[in-house]
Amino acid sequence: MRPVREGSGVPTDPDGPVTTDRLLVEGETCWRLARADQHAVFVDAADYFATLMGAVLRAEKRVLFIGWDFDPRIHMDPQGRGGRGRRGRDKLGRVLQDAVAANPELEIGVLQWDLGMVGAMARGLAPIVFLNRRTPDRLLLTVDTHHPIGGAHHQKIVVIDDCLAFAGGIDVTADRWDTSDHLDRHPLRRRPRSKRPTGPWHDVTSLVSGAAARVIGDLARDRWESGTGQRYEPVVDVEPCWPPEVEPLFTDVDVAVSRTRPEYRDQELVHEIELLWLSAIAGARRTVYIESQYFAARRIAEAIADRLAEEDGPEFVVVNPESADGWLEEKAMGTARAKLLGMLAEADVHGRFRLYVPVTEGRQPIYVHAKVMVVDDRLLRIGSANVNNRSMGLDTECDVSVEAAPGDPRREELAATITGLRDRLLGEHLGVPPARVAEEVVAQGGSLLGAVEALRTGTGRSLVPFTPPDLGPLDGALAESELLDAEHTPNRWQRVRRRVRRARSRGPRPSHRRA
């Protein structure tokens, strides 16, 4: 009898993943699959922060923030669309205080990575112990020290009444707020207590309701208990709480929650996110679109290299920031990216890989913090995990995904929505409407890479091909050693690839037309 992985109900083979034609498999590439009544995507933080503020103020029983960083001084609605910004009442800390003051049944918990709080203190934020002295008893701010040395709690989750859950790449902290215009200078894009505008920032997060929100609520409560020792019970008997101003991207759709959880004390390693990446790369037929803060995971790059060597493998379009945010991060991630891009350049004999940097109208690089993957017209993944080794096995991560799986009666509808979001993202970067991206993909015979090359320009808002710097002997040795970003997971690539090939061999033969 084959063992069953805890919590999944799916039999797993100890020598590799189960054989299936689906990419999202409970107990392998995701923790749990659950139905979302609605599912929305926020591109860039302006709309997300304003929506989050309204949702917190409408909460009935409980709000849980699970974050890498948190800053109660930030403005949630600096444009004043909800009225509070114009009166100065949109600062996050004030919003939380007002919410518990207006509702005696509401409790709010904020759990932040402990070293993230150290960084916040360096930015001038008072320690949480002092903040707690000035907040009501039902508003608790605390830190999570339950992680291995060098690891980070990197999830970006907010759960409201277990009926609404935000999860993705946007931290509720400074430097994140921006509109999709990504102006060279925006007077509202600045740090707390600073009049100097910060740079343009691109980010993505998601929102789900229904059973999928309850699953993310389970994950948030588990994190709260591991970090604080306090156990919250699920919230029940709450009315549906979808924000009325938000237009869903999907309705009545299955959503997968995938995790990275490091091996630590009595908890075992969970690397569902890495297995999803490998399965998605192995299963891609035409295109893989990636947005990530980093491109530094050797195992992911090697899987891409294997697909690039195939005669008719998929194209890979990657969007990255020009450089990492900080000297040490650039040393760790920038040198690794340069090394891996050199390897991929050798493997890319058919010209199917390109890494781009988005720029503003004035050609200023836009910082990319989003963590997105779109595979063909089949898979949409949005989360907190970057393409680096620590996100695959050392940090705590949460990704959410939707699959237009073969045989799904709504496959065409889901597929059109998935590619529509991809075109929305590329249109933002290229400075053109999403429909223009879709038209150009068709004009290029289905080639996404060909469409990008046809649409990008040498002036104004666009995508610029990234040229990696030459690595000196010291940087080259650092990148090769992976000293600052070591691998923490077993290599499952070849097993995943064989499993996906077996599944594909049983299905219909793919069209060679790209889309």
Two tokens, residue 326: 């900080």
Torsion angles phi and psi, residue 200, rounded to 5: -65, 145
What are the tens digits of pLDDT across the range 439-483? 999 999 999 999 999 999 999 999 999 998 776 655 555 555 454
The two structure tokens encoding residue 194:
């600073």
Same domain, 262 and 190: no
Residue 15: band (very low, low, confident or very high) from pLDDT cuts 50, 70, 90? very low
**Among the three residues 469, 492, 507, which one is the final residue of a domain in this structure?**
469
> Comparing 114 with 409, which gets the higher pLDDT?
409
| Domain boundary, last residue among 199, 220, 248 | 248
174 and 282 both lie in a single domain: no
Q: Do residues 260 and 227 share a domain?
A: no
Domain of residue 323 covers: 255-469
Closest CA to 389 of 332, 428, 343: 332
Total structural domains within the chain: 2
Half-sphere exposure of 109 (CA within 13 A, CB side): 22
Asked whether residue 210 falls in the same domain as residue 302, the answer is no
Q: What is the pTM of this model?
A: 0.90
Which residues touch 258 (CB under 8 Å, ≥6 apart)?
Answer: 29, 30, 31, 272, 273, 276, 381, 383, 398, 399, 400, 401
Specify whether 237 is located in the same domain as 294: no
Partners of 397 in beta bridges:
260
Domain assignment of residue 475, yes or no? no
Residue 8 lies in a domain: no
Whether the pLDDT of residue 324 is over 80: the answer is no
Give the chain's mean pLDDT: 87
pLDDT tens per residue, range 177-202: 999 999 999 999 988 877 788 999 99
Residues 195, 329 within the same domain: no
Q: Of 216, 248, 280, which residue sits at a domain end?
A: 248
The answer on 274 and 154 residing in a single domain is: no
Answer whether residue 152 is part of any domain.
yes
The pLDDT tens digits of the residues spanning 117-146 come to 445 545 555 545 445 545 568 899 888 888
Q: Is 3 a residue whose pLDDT tops 50?
A: no
Helix 493-506 vs helix 272-283: crossing angle, to nearest 10: 50
Of all residues in the chain, the percent with pLDDT exceeding 70 is: 84
> Average pLDDT of 484-509?
76
Domain check: are 225 and 267 in the same one?
no
Does residue 278 share a domain with residue 182? Answer: no
Measured CA distances, 285 to 23, 165, 315, 348, 379 (Å): 13, 32, 9, 16, 12
Q: What is the pLDDT of residue 104?
A: 94
For the beta carbon of residue 408, count every other beta carbon within 10 angstroms.
16
290 and 244, same domain (yes or no)? no
Here the tokens at position 106 are 């509401």
What does the pLDDT look like over 262-309, one tens digit per residue? 999 888 999 999 999 999 999 999 999 999 999 999 999 999 999 999
Pairing of strands 32-43, 204-210: antiparallel
- Asked if residue 489 is part of any domain, the answer here is no
Strand partners, 234: none
User: DSSP code of 172?
Assistant: B
3-state secondary structure of 114: helix
20, part of any domain: no
Task: For the chain, report the end-to-end CA distance as a whole number of angstroms.
Answer: 42
CATH code for the domain of 165: 3.30.870.10
Q: Is residue 340 included in any domain, yes or no?
A: yes
345 and 439 within one domain: yes
Q: Please indicate, yes or no, whether residues 280 and 237 belong to a single structural domain of this protein.
A: no
Please check whether residue 502 lies inside any domain of the structure.
no
- Phi and psi of 66, rounded to 5°? -120, 110
State the DSSP string of 393-407: HTSBEEEEEEE--TT
Q: Is 7 within a domain?
A: no
